[in-house]
């Protein structure tokens, strides 16, 4: 529980003083508890939750001004370079990095659940072949609750834990199949002798005609790092959606499906796909200057730039840029679209319009470029973000359900019609 600082904020309303307690966390700004404002007949007003702490959490800390992102206290660059994605998953779920023994047990546990009930595979046939894979993901992840409903007592800690493992284990299978379905290739079943990232790439790219398909270790490492860098991000739009859905007692598969829906938007997880679409639209380096003028006239946004919280740099983008350089060098790629991306980055980092507004490349700018280099189709970019973020969502859902919580029920500033009678 947070600590009361003893300090109080005083709000004066209609000549009356309301004392509001202030709490301190372990890091970050203190918070003013505004609950008592209600008794005065007022609501607080904060559209977009710019200044609102919606919950108490021990999972992730962000200092946007300093470019700090910590999971359970560990800096993201250390996790991305010194721990694997599954170790990061264990950390997010349990609060500590695993010992060797715990790591092996966790990996075994995840491996045991990589298959999905075979009838789930038939679900895909209900979708058009040209369905967006995110549309498929929203459907099939929500549908899991119909297959694993015997472990859905959210009051039971064992049920909650097995569901968390199932989600982390099955999401790569469901994600790879959402791609296979749209290209008309048979589903490839998981291989438990491969690492988490290798297995995902294997299910994406292997075919029955290419039984000896080998996953490139450089690409598997890059994929694992992309997963780690997207694993959690505090109370962002999709995580808050998962918590809000979870606060009603909805089952975890439904909550994660809600998170996937929220992530889909171009201002959130859809940005990595939008980056590549933007590069397509610009076409060539010759058109960059004209495009930047459009951005400055606010006709379009520079996708993959800017962040609600990071106003100096995105610490994830730093590691991602390094991985991006490694992957491009290892693959010897000479793609004009990537050259275009690098030109955009150069201009945005030096042009006063972007510098003054603190619009730096975010994690999705580089992840989009890496994913393209790996050969992942653009429509799958946000699916990969959803795959990686599933552990963050479920960690927040678990945290919420391990203590007391209230249904999330914000109020509003009503500006519609006042009461009137139907006149007929």
Could you confirm whether 335 is annotated as catalytic?
no
Contacts of 172 (CB under 8 A, 6+ apart): 114, 190, 196, 199, 200, 203, 387
Q: How far is the CB of 92 from ligand CMC (least distance, A)?
A: 16
Using the rule CB under 6 A, give the single segment among 20-28, 102-110, 294-302, 320-328 that binds ligand CMC.
Answer: 294-302
Phi, then psi, of 71 in degrees rounded to 5 = -105, 120
The residues, any chain, with a CB within 8 Å of residue 404's CB and separated by 6 or more, are: none
Q: Which of 340, 346, 347 is nearest to 287 (CA)?
A: 340
Please choose, from the candidates 29, 35, 18, 25, the residue with its C-alpha nearest in 3D space to the C-alpha of residue 4: 25
CA dist., res. 276 & res. 211, Å (int): 31
Structure tokens belonging to residue 236: 């962002």
Considering the complex, state which of residue 329 and residue 342 has its C-beta at the smaller distance from ligand CMC. 342
At its nearest, how many Å lie between ligand CMC and the CB of residue 348? Answer: 9
Q: 116 vs 256, which CB is nearer to ligand CMC?
A: 256
Nearest CA-CA partner of 354 in 300, 299, 292, 266: 292
Stretch that binds ligand CMC, among 76-84, 175-183, 305-313, 406-414 (CB under 6 A): 305-313
Residues 248 and 244: their CA atoms lie apart, in Å, by: 7
Is 302 a binding residue for ligand CMC by CB under 6 A? The answer is yes
Of 168 and 303, the one with the shorter C-beta distance to ligand CMC is 303
**Contact characters 308-327, ligand CMC, x per CB under 6 A:** x-------------------
Phi, psi angle pair for 104, to nearest 5°: -65, -40
347-386 binders of ligand CMC (CB under 6 A): 357, 359, 362-364
Stretch that binds ligand CMC, among 268-276, 279-287, 335-343, 391-399 (CB under 6 A): 268-276
**Cβ nearer to ligand CMC, comparing 170 with 230:** 230
Q: Which residue is nearest to ligand CMC (CB)?
A: 306
- Applying CB under 6 A, the residues found at the interface with ligand CMC are 233, 236, 267-269, 271, 295, 298, 301-308, 357, 359, 362-364
């Amino acid at each position: 529980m947070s600590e009361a600082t003893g300090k109080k904020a005083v709000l004066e309303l209609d000549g009356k003083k309301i004392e509001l307690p202030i709490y301190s966390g372990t890091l970050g700004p203190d918070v003013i508890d505004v609950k008592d404002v209600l008794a005065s007949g007022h609501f607080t007003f904060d559209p977009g939750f710019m200044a609102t702490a919606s919950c108490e959490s021990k999972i992730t800390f962000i200092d946007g001004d300093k470019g700090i992102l910590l999971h359970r206290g560990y800096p993201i660059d250390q996790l991305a370079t010194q721990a694997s994605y599954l170790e990061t998953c264990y950390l997010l779920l349990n609060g500590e990095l695993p010992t060797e023994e715990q790591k092996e047990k966790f990996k075994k546990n995840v491996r045991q659940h990589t298959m999905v009930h075979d009838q789930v595979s038939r679900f895909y046939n209900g979708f058009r072949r040209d369905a967006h894979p995110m549309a498929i993901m929203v459907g099939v992840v929500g549908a899991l609750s119909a297959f694993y409903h015997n472990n859905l007592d959210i009051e039971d800690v064992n049920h909650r834990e097995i569901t968390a493992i199932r989600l982390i284990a099955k999401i790569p299978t469901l994600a790879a199949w959402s791609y296979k379905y749209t290209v008309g290739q048979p589903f490839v079943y998981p291989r438990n002798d491969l690492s988490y990232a290798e297995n995902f790439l294997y299910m994406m790219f292997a075919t029955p005609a290419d039984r000896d398909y080998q996953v490139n270790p450089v690409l598997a490492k890059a994929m694992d790092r992309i997963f780690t860098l997207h694993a959690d991000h505090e109370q962002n739009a999709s995580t808050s959606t998962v918590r809000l859905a979870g606060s009603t007692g909805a089952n975890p598969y439904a909550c994660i499906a809600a998170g996937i829906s929220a992530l889909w938007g171009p201002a959130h997880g859809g940005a990595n796909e939008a980056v590549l679409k933007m590069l397509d639209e610009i076409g060539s380096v010759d058109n960059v200057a004209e495009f930047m003028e459009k951005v400055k006239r606010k006709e379009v946004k520079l996708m993959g730039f800017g962040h609600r919280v990071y106003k100096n740099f995105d610490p994830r983008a730093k590691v991602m840029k390094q991985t991006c350089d490694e992957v491009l060098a290892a693959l010897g790629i000479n793609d004009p679209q990537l050259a275009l991306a690098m030109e955009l980055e150069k201009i945005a980092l030096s042009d006063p319009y972007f510098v003054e507004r603190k619009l730096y490349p975010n994690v999705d700018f580089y992840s989009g470029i890496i994913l393209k280099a790996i050969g992942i189709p653009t429509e799958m970019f946000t699916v990969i973000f959803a795959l990686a973020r599933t552990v963050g969502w479920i960690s927040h859902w678990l945290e919420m359900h391990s203590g007391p919580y209230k249904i999330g029920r914000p109020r509003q500033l009503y500006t519609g019609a006042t009461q009137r009678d139907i006149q007929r």
